[in-house]
Amino acid sequence: MKAVRTDRELECPRIDAGLRARGVELVTLPDSVTEAELAREVADADLLLMCYTPVTPRVIESAPRLKGIVKYGVGIDAIDITAARRRGIPVVNVPDYAEETVAEGAFTLLIALAKRLPAITGAVAREGWIWPEQRWLAQDIAGKTVGLVGVGRIGRGMARIARQGFGAHVMGFDPYVDTATMRAAGVEKADNLQAMLAASDFVTIHCVLNEQTRHMIGKAELACLRPSAILINVSRGALVDEIALVEAIVDGRLAGAGLDVYAVEPLRKSGHPMSQLFGRDNVILFPHLTFYSAEAMQRLEADVLARCDEILEGRPVTVRSRDPRLLAQSTGVTFT
C-alpha cells in the first residue's frame, strides 16, 4: 500500500508514524507541489491525504489505484468532489476535531483587537511606556453586539463565549439554521445579512466556502459595518472580498480586522493582495493556525488514522460531515 500526504509543512507525526507502522509506504509532499508533480506521485497510490493542496480532476484521473481521499481538516473546497464521485473514490474530512479550539482562537483575535493589544504592546515595545491618551482607547465587549456569519458548531461555540463569558448580545445569520436552534444557543436569528452587519459591533465569520458563499462579505456588506466595527475571519479567505476589505481598512472605514485565513495562502509581505495590511496595528494577520492546539491535533490525527484504516482495509469510510457535497456520495461511504 502507498499513501501520499501533501502539505507536509503541517507536521502530523502521529499520522505519519501510524501509517508507516501499518506497513504503508508514505510519501510526503510540500505545500508548493505542482499539479503535475502530485499527479505523478499518486499514479500508484492507494490513499491521498491533503490539507490545502488542490486535488484537481487531473490528479484524480492520474490515480487508477486510489481508494480514498482524506482531508485532514474540515474544508473540502480544494477537492474536486465531482471528479472523485465520477471515479467512485470516497472523500472524507474531519469535521469536529477543533470547533472549540477555533472558536477560542476567533475570540482571541476579537478581544485582542477590542482591547488594542497590538497597538499598545507595539507602542510599549518602541517607547517603554505610554500614557492613557485617546488614541489608545479600547472597547468593552459587555453589552455590545456580536454578529455571527454562520451559526454551525464553531459559531455556536463563539456565541457561548461571547454571551456567557462576556455578556455580549449575539445575533446570527445562517439560512440553514432555524430560529429555535439559534435561540437554544443564545443567538438572535437575523434574516438579513446586511441588517445584521449594520447592527453589529463585532462580526465573526464561521461558514463553509462554496459558490454561494464566495465573497458573501463584499463591498456592499463592508459598507454596512460601522467605522468602529471589527471583523474576524477564521473560516476561508474567499468568503470575503479581500480587495474591498483592504480598501476599507486603509481608508479607515473599519476599526480593525483579525484574519486567520486568506484566499491565497501563504501570505507574502509583498506581492500579495493582502500585503498592505502588514504592520498595521489595527490588523492581526494570523497564519491559519487558530485550529492548532495540542488537544485538537491529537483528535485530528486519531480520527485521520481511523479513516485511513477503513479505506485501506476496504471498509466503507465514515462520513460525519453535514456538508451536502459529502452527503451526496454513494460509493464506499457510511454516514453517522
- On whether the CB atoms of residues 4 and 27 are closer than 8 A, the answer is yes
Q: Are residues 128 and 164 in the same domain?
A: yes
320 carries an active-site annotation: no
pLDDT band at 325 (very low <50, low <70, confident <90, very high): very high
Selecting among 99, 236, 242, 307, the annotated active-site residue is 236
Residue 37's pLDDT is: 98
Selecting among 156, 288, 301, 307, the annotated active-site residue is 288
Q: Are residues 159 and 54 in the same domain?
A: no
313 carries an active-site annotation: no
> For 197-219, what is the mean pLDDT?
96
Q: Are residues 264 and 140 in the same domain?
A: yes
Its domain, for residue 93, covers 2-97+294-335
Count Cβ atoms below 10 Å from residue 112 Cβ, excluding itself. Answer: 17
Q: Are residues 113 and 89 in the same domain?
A: no
Q: Transcribe 89-153 into DSSP letters.
A: --EE--TTSSHHHHHHHHHHHHHHHHTTHHHHHHHHHHHS-----GGG-----TT-EEEEE--SH
The owner of cell 483592504 is 246
**What residues are paired with 230 via a beta bridge?**
202, 256
Number of domains in the chain: 2
Q: Are residues 163 and 277 in the same domain?
A: yes
Tens-digit pLDDT profile for residues 81-97: 999 999 999 999 999 99
Question: How many angstroms separate the CA atoms of 260 and 5, rounded?
Answer: 23
Residue 269's pLDDT is: 96
Tens-digit pLDDT profile for residues 251-267: 999 999 999 999 999 99
Q: Which residues are CB-neighbours of 75 under 8 A, at least 6 positions away?
A: 93, 208, 209, 235, 236
Question: How many angstroms separate the CA atoms of 69 and 61, rounded?
Answer: 13
Tens-digit pLDDT profile for residues 150-194: 999 999 999 999 999 999 999 999 999 999 999 999 999 999 999
pTM of the entire structure? 0.93
Q: Are residues 76 and 220 in the same domain?
A: no
236 carries an active-site annotation: yes
Tens-digit pLDDT profile for residues 276-301: 999 999 999 999 999 999 999 999 99
Q: Are residues 103 and 93 in the same domain?
A: no
Q: Are residues 145 and 250 in the same domain?
A: yes
pLDDT band at 334 (very low <50, low <70, confident <90, very high): very high
Q: Are residues 80 and 119 in the same domain?
A: no
Residue 282's pLDDT is: 98
Q: Quote the crossing angle between the two packed helices 99-114 and 117-127, to the nearest 10°.
A: 60
Q: Are residues 121 and 261 in the same domain?
A: yes
Selecting among 9, 25, 37, 265, the annotated active-site residue is 265
Average pLDDT, the chain: 97
Share above pLDDT 90 across residues of the chain, in percent, rounded to a whole number: 99
How many helices (H) does the chain have, and how many strands (E)? 14, 14
Count Cβ atoms below 10 Å from residue 316 Cβ, excluding itself. Answer: 13
pLDDT band at 310 (very low <50, low <70, confident <90, very high): very high
Write out the three cell numbers for 282: 489595527
Q: Are residues 128 and 59 in the same domain?
A: no
Question: How many angstroms separate the CA atoms of 47 and 65, rounded?
Answer: 8
- On whether the CB atoms of residues 88 and 332 are closer than 8 A, the answer is yes
Q: Are residues 77 and 222 in the same domain?
A: no
pLDDT band at 141 (very low <50, low <70, confident <90, very high): very high
Residue 196's pLDDT is: 98
How far is the CA of 282 from the CAs of 129, 134, 196, 286, in angstroms? 19, 15, 23, 13
> For 44-56, what is the mean pLDDT?
97
Strand ranges across the sheet with 68-71? 25-28, 2-5, 47-50, 68-71, 91-92
> For 96-100, what is the mean pLDDT?
95
Residue 327's pLDDT is: 96
Question: How many angstroms separate the CA atoms of 124 and 222, rounded?
Answer: 32
CATH number of the domain enclosing 331:
3.40.50.720
